[in-house]
Amino acid sequence: MKSCQKPVDKYIEYDPVIILINAVLCKAQAYRHILFNTKINIHGKLCIFCLLCEAYIRWLQLQDSSQNTDPDDLIRYAKEWDFYRMFGIASLEQTSFFIGIFITLWWMTPEMLKRKSDFILLLKALLLSTYGKLLLIPAVIWEHDYTPLCLAFIKVFVLISNSQAIRVTLNLNRILPWFAIFFGLILENGVVCLFQKMGWDV
C-alpha cells in the first residue's frame, strides 16, 4: 500500500509453510490470503479425495461389523459395491450440508449472494475448508482405543474451518456462519435418517 509503505496482506511475504500452519490454526487472515491472494485450483480434486477418505472410513467400519472372510468373487464384488455406495452417500450428505448453508445465508444475507460469482467463491471456500477430512486416514491407520474420539475431533475441526471460510468469504460476524452450519447439519442428518429408513447402513 503506497500510503503506509506496507503490504495490505502480510502473508504475501510469508513462507507457505507458515501460511499453512496459520490456516490449520483457523486464523481468519490466513484464510483470507489463501482465498483471495493465491491461485489455488484444487477445489474439485480436494473434494473428491476427502470424500474418498470418508467413504473408506465408513466402508472399513462396515467390513469390521460384517467380519465375512469368504473369498468368493461374489463377496468381493459386494464389498466393492459397498465402497461405491458409501462414496455416494458421503457425496449426498456433503451436498445437502452445503445446500443447507447456501439456503440459510441466502435467506439471512441476500445482499451478499447476489451474483453467481458470489456463490462460486463461497463454494470454493467451503470445499477448501474441508481439508481436515484428510486426517481421517492417519486416524484409522494408527488405530487405537481413542479412534472414535479422534474422528469426533476431526469433525469439529472441519466445522470450525467451514465457519472461518464462510466468515472470511462473506465478511460476516462469528454467529451467522455457525447458524448456517447448524442448518446444514440438520439437512445432512435428515438425509442420513432417510437412508436409514431405506435400510441402508450409513
**Domain presence at residue 9:** no
User: Is 23 a domain residue?
Assistant: yes
The proportion of the chain whose per-residue pLDDT surpasses 70, expressed as a percent, equals 82
> Nearest 5°: CA angle at 19, between 143 and 56?
30
Q: Which domain holds residue 187?
A: 16-198
What local confidence, expressed as pLDDT, does residue 28 receive? 81
Q: How many domains does the chain have?
A: 1
Res 98: pLDDT: 95
Amino acid at site 34: I
Residue-wise pLDDT for 155-168, tens only, equals 999 999 999 999 99
> How many H-runs (helices) and E-runs (strands) does the chain carry?
8, 0
Residue 4 is assigned to a structural domain of this protein:
no
pLDDT at 74 over 50: no
Q: Classify residue 2: in a domain, yes or no.
A: no
User: Using one digit for the tens of pLDDT, what is the confidence trace for 107-122?
Assistant: 988 888 888 888 888 9
pLDDT-based confidence at 9, cuts 50/70/90? Answer: low
Instruction: Supply the pLDDT for residue 4.
Output: 41
All three cell numbers of 134, joined, read: 484428510
The yes-or-no verdict on residue 70 having pLDDT over 70 is: no
CB 92 within 8 A of CB 135: no
Q: Which residues contact 167 (CB under 8 A, 6 or more apart)?
A: 28, 173, 174, 177
Residue 5 lies in a domain: no
pTM of the model: 0.81
Q: In the prediction, which pLDDT does 100 show?
A: 95
Q: What 3 state SS string does 141-191 have?
A: HCCCCCHHHHHHHHHHHHHHHHHHHHHHHHCCCCHHHHHHHHHHHHHHHHH
Query: Is 127 domain-assigned?
Result: yes
Q: Which helix (H) or strand (E) holds 25?
A: none
Task: With respect to residue 11, please indicate whether it lies within any of the assigned structural domains.
Answer: no
Residue 3 has pLDDT above 50, yes or no: no
